[in-house]
Amino acid sequence: MFVLEFYFIFYRVPKMMTRLARQRKRSAWKWSLLGMGAWVGAEFLIIFAFGAIYALGVEFADWPSPIPAGIKTVVYVAALVAALLSTTIVSRILTRIPREQEFLSPPLPPEFHRTESKSAD
């Protein structure tokens, strides 16, 4: 299961962010790192929040001290969902940045040559 997660963190997310960033003339590696950081940060946030809440439950509500495997699985799935959502939010922020349009340069101004003609008076 972790292999699939590594695929997303180190391949899919940077590839997606690089494509979007290059279309908008932004730094591809910075947006890739931001997407990867959003993924990992969201996972850590969910796991940390669960750990804190569960520690309070063990202390004050007599929850079982070793965390049951079913609860660990639910927390892992919730962390993955949060990671996907955070990466989606980062990509939408990047998508909202307008693309820099390349316009054709205007034609050169006309050159007028003054012809000096002497008329016979």
Listed range (22-31, 38-47, 53-62, 111-120) with the worst mean pLDDT: 111-120
Q: Is residue 101 part of a domain?
A: no
Q: Is residue 16 part of a domain?
A: yes
Q: Is residue 84 part of a domain?
A: yes
- pLDDT score for 53: 95
Q: Is residue 26 part of a domain?
A: yes
Q: Are 26 and 34 in contact (CB under 8 A)?
A: no
Q: Is residue 118 part of a domain?
A: no
Q: What is the pLDDT of residues 66-107, one digit of tens each?
A: 899 999 999 999 999 999 999 999 999 999 988 777 777 888
Q: Is residue 46 part of a domain?
A: yes
The number of domains in the chain is 1
Q: Is residue 45 part of a domain?
A: yes
pTM of the model: 0.77
Q: What is the pLDDT of residues 6-35, one digit of tens each?
A: 999 999 999 999 999 999 889 999 999 999
Q: Which domain holds residue 68?
A: 2-95
The Cα–Cα gap between 115 and 16 comes to 61
